[in-house]
Amino acid sequence: MKNNFKAVMIDLDGTLLTDDKKITDFSNQILKKLYDNGIKIIIATGRGLSRAKQLTEKLDFDKIILANNGAIIHSSSNIATDEDLMLESNVVDELSTLSKKYGIRPYFFVENKCALLIQDEEDKNRFVDSVGDIGEIMTVSERNLPIDDCVSMIMIAGKERIYDIVEHIKTNPNVTYHIHTKYFSKNIRMLEVQNVNTDKYKRAIHVLEHFGIKSDEVVAIGDAHNDLEMVVNSGLGVAMKNSDDILKQNADIITQYTNEQDGLAKFLEELFELRDYE
């Protein structure tokens, strides 16, 4: 391996995972080779920790997982990190009230579970059918919202309502949380609210300092807006061929292949000249 990179930071959906949420044998083989050659592997995802661990179970080595966009750090190594980044309780209260005003049912990631503000089991099943796989679910009432253990709060609705909420939030000069929107389906958008210090890149660098690795020694690969900071600020920022336009415009390089074509693994194999190690 003829470069100076010591860590690879990888997004999950649209990057490492295929569209049916699998890690291919080839991707697993390439990442294992990197790990065996001393390269740190960091999985940086917006997904909750429980689901991220399930999706990366095939990677049978000591990878580092940054879940919920870095709010949660997990590794079997004894890495000294800050505490998990929770939403402040007053923010949970404030945004729960705001979502109710706009007729949107929020859900909360808490303790590796998803907490739904839902009235009954039938209501819950309808919600899960519309949203899809979001991991273990518990239901809560307005009286027992998880205001002290909330990692993130999510609202899913028509794009006009979501954009209205975003504009409402922007009018508040005292906002103490981070928000980002994401495409969910045609005319539907997702708004996620997290601790103001939550950021994949910043949290990854905090972890890598433990190993004496600097930002210019990191390769970061992603496909979406929430990967922008890590792609822009790392030593080599890579956008998948199937990436959002904004990521492609800001990346150092774009892969030749998509996540459905082992684009990540093929890029890393060439970058690190792994064929020489077969």
The answer, yes or no, to whether residue 37 has pLDDT greater than 70, is: yes
What are the backbone angles phi and psi of residue 99, rounded to the nearest 5°?
-65, -35
Per-residue pLDDT tens for 96-128? Answer: 889 889 998 887 777 655 555 555 566 556 555
The answer, yes or no, to whether residue 75 has pLDDT greater than 60, is: yes
Domains observed in the chain: 7-82+198-277 (3.40.50.1000), 89-195 (3.30.1240.10)
Angle at CA 75, nearest 5°, toward 69 and 76?
A: 165
Per-residue pLDDT tens for 214-234? Answer: 999 999 999 998 899 999 999
What are the backbone angles phi and psi of residue 238, rounded to the nearest 5°?
-120, 130
Distance CA(83)–CA(7), nearest Å, equals 23
Q: Both tokens of residue 66?
A: 């940054």
